[in-house]
Amino acid sequence: MSEDLTAFYLPVDEHVFDSTEATQSPWDFSLQHGGPPAGLLARAVDAARPDDSMRIARITIDMLGGIPQGRTRTEATVVRPGRRVEMVEARLWVDDRLAVTATAWRIRVAPGSTTEVAASEAPAPLPAEQSPHTLTGVDPSWGYGRAMEWRFVAGGYGTLGPALVWGRPRVPLVAGETTSHTSRLLTMADSANGLSVELPMSEWLSIPSTLTATIQRTPEDEWMLLDARTSIGPDGIGLTRAQVYDQHGFSAEIAQPLLVARR
């Protein structure tokens, strides 16, 4: 990783940021990968009405096209307030163009109020450090790829099909801030389809315009395990599903519908 990758975004003020090289899409360096904007929108949702006892339980990120590099601004509004459940809408603008929206439900947590019903599943152990991986046909200097670390238990960039892979961001979401666990999860979530692609990327497009994360328990650790798989229907629509774990067990589910088409 080059020394210039210090964060995904540099703050201008509380809600305005400059994107950095670390956000680069693998397919076009003038665009942002979907992960960092998703993480930034999760940050905006939680800042809409700061309350440590309210937690994002479901968030849907809608990408309205390619997300340009540049000056990035977020805003969020509580559209359905409530004492125990609330709905928040957030928007991300790049150079005054609306680029990404989010809808989130937050639920008030009460630690110790319930007994865990689903037994925690022991995740696959974190492997030792692995050699850097890169996507076939992609310039290995792409920023998001260098800003993330992946350690595969099964699958890999050169392997089609399901993947079981630990990952973590190497840099903070916003320079000078500690990234929240939910924002770290969302920064990784958009990678699920690329990690479990079923058709060669050199021949096929596999484009997610949206993703939904349903979070039962906020991941507590730096490293998160994605158990990702993609299925493809007979009419050009695919679906990537991923379960997310940390060292303590199950955390969340990710779903991404895909446009699948020949290049």
Q: How confident is the model at residue 139 (pLDDT cuts 50, 70, 90)?
A: confident
pLDDT at res. 38: 98
Q: Which residue has the tokens 């989130």?
A: 104
Direct distance between the N- and C-terminal alpha carbons of the chain, in angstroms, rounded to an integer: 31
Residue 136 phi/psi, 5-degree rounding, is -60, 130
Average pLDDT score, the chain? 93
Mean pLDDT score, 73-81: 97
Tokens standing for 100?
């990404």
pTM of the model: 0.94
pLDDT at res. 3: 47
- The 10s digit of each residue's pLDDT in 89-109 is 999 999 989 999 999 999 999
pLDDT at res. 2: 44
The DSSP annotation for the chain comes to --TT-S-SEEEEETTEEEE-GGGB-SS-TTEE-SHHHHHHHHHHHHHHS--TTEEEEEEEEEE-S-EESSEEEEEEEEEE--SSEEEEEEEEEETTEEEEEEEEEEEE--TTSS---SPPPPPPPPPPP------TTS-TT-HHHHHEEEEEEEEETTEEEEEEEEEEESS-SBTTSPPPHHHHHHHHHTTHHHHT-SS-TTTEEEEESEEEEEESS---SS-EEEEEEEEE-TTSEEEEEEEEEETTEEEEEEEEEEEEEE-
Tokens standing for 134?
């890169």
Mean pLDDT score, 124-150: 85
pLDDT at 49 over 70: yes
pLDDT at res. 70: 97
Q: Which residue has the tokens 């990783």?
A: 1
The residue ranking higher by pLDDT, 99 or 119, is 99
pLDDT at res. 8: 98
pLDDT at 189 over 80: yes
Write down all domains in the chain, each with its CATH number in brackets.
Answer: 9-110+125-262 (2.40.160.210)
pLDDT at res. 118: 65
